[in-house]
Amino acid sequence: MNETLAIVGSGAIACGLAAAAAHHGPVLLLARSQSSAERAEAAVEKTLSRLGAEIDPEHVQVVTDPAALAKATFVVEAVVEDHDIKAGVLSELDAVLGPEAILASTTSSLSIERLAQASERADRFVGLHVFNPVTKMKLVELVFPRGAGEETRKRTLELCETFEKTPVEVPDVPGFVVNRLLFPYLFSAVRLLEETGMDPVGVDTCMRLGAGHPMGPLALLDLVGLDVAKAIGETLGEPVPARIDELLAEGALGRKSGRGFHAY
């Protein structure tokens, strides 16, 4: 079926998804306020411009009223990485959407089973973990709750195919596969920094040129956002290095604030 897609949120993942979806047809983006809507609109336009994409601007419609999503058939929640906040949004969406609509969450570490229960449509729920920047990263970690129906699986896979993404079904464990393996490494890079006093550029250069990584671990933490990284670490039970807490206390969140381990 041709899905009527909607995305809830106005951060990097939500805007990246909207830009990726705009290549394939109209998409609704629900922001929580008019100021968030304006920022999201600008972010999507900037992404499309950077990609050199000739997309009809009307393909991405930014709204602030949840009722505008009533006719959506596939809705992706992409709000802050906090179970209670996500659960509240999902419950609100369930009340607005038609019975055939599928709800998805882009959570990178939270329990899909618990979020599915909060959505009150576990048969039509899926974890759809995409990666930043969404327009470039091909992987989608798919996490289906126990109650997910066969139609939900089929439609989700078809959506991934439409977006030219590579889906991999993963278990519902904290951090799924990528973050479960990645964050111990990222945090160990911060601890090395704390122990040795090395310059962040030096650490990142070593891992880029010595291990063939496209981005160093500290630059990657900045891209993820140090606030998001802290939340993921806590969900994984991975001790968050003191340097991350210090930077957060200074308002240094990474790229989105202009400073993290590096300045932008």
Active site residues: 108, 129, 141, 179
C-alpha distances (whole Å) from 167 to each of 4, 18, 130, 134 are: 20, 18, 9, 13
Half-sphere exposure in the Cβ direction for 70 (13 Å, CA):
3
Q: Are 221 and 186 in contact (CB under 8 A)?
A: yes
CA torsion through residues 214, 23, 163, 103, sign:
positive
* Closest to 129 (Cα-Cα) out of 114, 137, 116, 140: 140
Query: Cβ neighbours of residue 81 under 8 Å, at least 6 residues apart?
Result: 107, 108, 109, 110, 228, 231, 232, 235
Q: Which helix (H) or strand (E) holds 117?
A: helix 112-119
Nearest to 77 by CA among 175, 7, 21: 7
Name the residue type at position 90: L
Least Cα distance to 62 among 24, 22, 102, 98 occurs for 22
Distances (CA, A) of 45 to 15, 38, 109: 9, 11, 29
